[in-house]
């Protein structure tokens, strides 16, 4: 009525609040395209694709480096083992930094370190310095550019019912990059040599640095959502996880995953050469693994949203063990190699969205990057043992047979460990209101 009757003495007092209310009720301006969740999914996938792809092709560099530098397989294997262990040790701390200060800062620093580390691998001629660069520098870089940070950032931006599928999509995008890296690295090795190939990879890491920036100042829609449960300090969340038996079972089971994948990725090309096959066969096997991983990661991410994740994980470990047993026992041929690579690739990283999903399902997403970092340490401890023991056992026995047997035994143990995990969400007591 005031608008019809004309000015009112109190208009000067009421107009400002009224205009403020109207402004506040207007819909917010749409976010720019680089802040869209789809673009963030693509950006995170590309960063993971580079990080995992450069790691995936390290086995192709093993023989060229040992031949040029005069180092043993054990020395290169030790550097790669230190890389995996450093990645695992650093992951909880990079997770804490990401949860506290933002994932984009961790991704950016990780890409810078990755570029410097790859360049250092190309120019360093001392074995101890090679361990420092390829092992420590790139290990820290991987902790900031792979699953822990990328999956943690994405987990807080989607509702729980879409989380497993979203991580599967991100993993599939990363798998595409991983797949493309294999023929690209082999072509670079053939045409420009291993040192220049590493420099090209370093440039690729530097080019991807801007892809960390879209995560800047992003307010995760589900970051503070705790299912009606009270928020808790980070140290309390860590103590809560460490007191949960399922958290330790996940760690131990993930150790088997790391052992199997790191051993195969780093030693399969050399194993095939020892069996009389050509370098192209090793390259093709790694490419098939990466290609099949694209589909496997998405499928297991999708299945994780519909079925019990711990049982899916147990099935993956048993299937891997069966595939390795058939590969080692049957006569080696291109057909058996490619079939093994396809099966292993399908099972390759399907464990990651499932494991991350269990962590968020039980403990919530507020500190998912930190808590998954602790679980991932178990994975990387296994990776350290798989790469290092692969080189040690070969130097002692001139054979990888004992390592294959160990990888199969760990697969059976991991399947048994996942079965009894209590994957129910922790019920926390509601916070009591303060007394007046």
SS3 content of the chain, % helix, strand, coil (to 5): 80, 0, 20
| Within a domain: 315 | yes
CB atoms within 10 A of CB 343: 21
CA distance 434 to 110: 43
Provide the pLDDT for residue 214.
81
Statement: residue 254 has pLDDT above 60: yes
| Within a domain: 20 | no
pLDDT, tens digit (0-9, with 9 covering 90-100), for 42-75 = 888 899 989 988 987 887 888 898 888 888 877 8
Query: What CATH number should be reported for the domain holding residue 66?
Result: 1.20.1250.20
Length of the chain: 436
279 against 377, higher pLDDT: 377
| pTM exceeding 0.75 | no
| Within a domain: 9 | no
- CA 413, 414, 420, 426 dihedral sign is positive
Domain count within the chain: 1
pLDDT, tens digit (0-9, with 9 covering 90-100), for 179-219 = 888 889 989 999 999 999 999 999 999 999 998 888 775 54
Statement: residue 22 has pLDDT above 80: no
pLDDT, tens digit (0-9, with 9 covering 90-100), for 353-391 = 899 889 988 888 778 888 988 998 999 899 889 988 988
Statement: residue 257 has pLDDT above 70: yes
- Rounded to a whole number of angstroms, the CA Rg of the chain reads 24
Nearest-5° Cα angle at 410, 407 to 416: 150
Range of the domain at 272: 41-216+234-418
pLDDT-wise least confident of 22-36, 211-225, 286-300: 22-36
| Within a domain: 3 | no
- CA 382, 383, 388, 392 dihedral sign is positive
Query: Closest Cα to residue 77, out of 115, 120, 131?
Result: 131
| Within a domain: 143 | yes
| Within a domain: 5 | no
Statement: residue 133 has pLDDT above 80: yes
- Residue 403 structure tokens: 């390592």
CA distance 288 to 278: 16
| Within a domain: 424 | no
| Within a domain: 428 | no
- Residue 207 structure tokens: 């080019």
């Amino acid at each position: 009525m005031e608008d019809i009757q004309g000015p009112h003495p109190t208009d000067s007092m009421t107009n400002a609040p009224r205009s403020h209310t109207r402004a506040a009720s207007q819909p917010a301006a749409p976010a720019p395209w680089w802040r869209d969740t789809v673009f963030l999914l693509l950006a995170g996938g590309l960063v993971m694709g580079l990080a995992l792809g450069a790691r995936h092709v390290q086995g192709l560099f093993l023989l060229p480096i040992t031949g040029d530098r005069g180092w043993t397989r054990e020395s290169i294997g030790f550097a790669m083992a230190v890389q995996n262990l450093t990645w695992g040790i650093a992951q909880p701390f990079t997770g804490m930094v990401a949860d506290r200060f933002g994932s984009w800062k961790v991704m950016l620093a990780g890409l810078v370190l990755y570029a410097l580390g790859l360049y250092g691998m190309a120019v360093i001629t001392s074995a101890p310095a090679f361990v420092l660069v390829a092992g420590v520098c790139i290990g820290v870089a991987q902790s900031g550019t792979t699953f822990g940070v990328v999956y943690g950032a994405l987990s807080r931006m989607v509702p729980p019912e879409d989380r497993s599928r979203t991580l599967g999509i991100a993993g599939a995008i990363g798998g595409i990059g991983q797949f493309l890296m294999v023929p690209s690295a082999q072509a670079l090795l053939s045409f420009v040599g291993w040192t220049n190939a590493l420099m090209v990879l370093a440039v690729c890491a530097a080019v991807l640095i801007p892809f960390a920036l879209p995560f800047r100042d992003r307010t995760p829609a589900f970051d503070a959502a705790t299912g009606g449960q009270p928020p808790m300090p980070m140290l309390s969340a860590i103590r809560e996880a460490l007191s949960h038996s399922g958290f330790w079972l996940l760690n131990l089971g993930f150790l088997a995953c790391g052992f199997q994948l790191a051993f195969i990725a780093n030693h399969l090309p050399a194993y095939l050469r020892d069996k009389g096959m050509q370098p192209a066969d090793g390259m093709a096997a790694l490419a098939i693994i990466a290609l099949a991983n694209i589909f496997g990661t998405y499928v297991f991410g999708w299945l994780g949203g519909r079925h019990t994740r711990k049982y899916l994980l147990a099935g993956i470990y048993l299937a891997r063990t069966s595939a390795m047993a058939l590969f080692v026992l049957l006569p080696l041929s291109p057909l058996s190699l490619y079939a093994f690579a396809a099966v292993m690739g399908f099972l390759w990283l399907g464990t990651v969205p499932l494991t991350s999903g269990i962590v968020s399902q039980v403990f919530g997403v507020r500190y998912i990057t930190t808590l998954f970092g602790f679980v991932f340490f178990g994975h990387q401890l296994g990776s350290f043992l798989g790469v290092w023991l692969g080189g040690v056992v070969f130097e002692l026995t001139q054979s990888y047979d004992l390592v294959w047997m160990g990888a199969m035994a760990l697969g059976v143990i991991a399947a048994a460990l996942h079965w009894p995990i209590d994957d129910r969400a922790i019920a926390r007591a509601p916070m009591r209101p303060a007394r007046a």
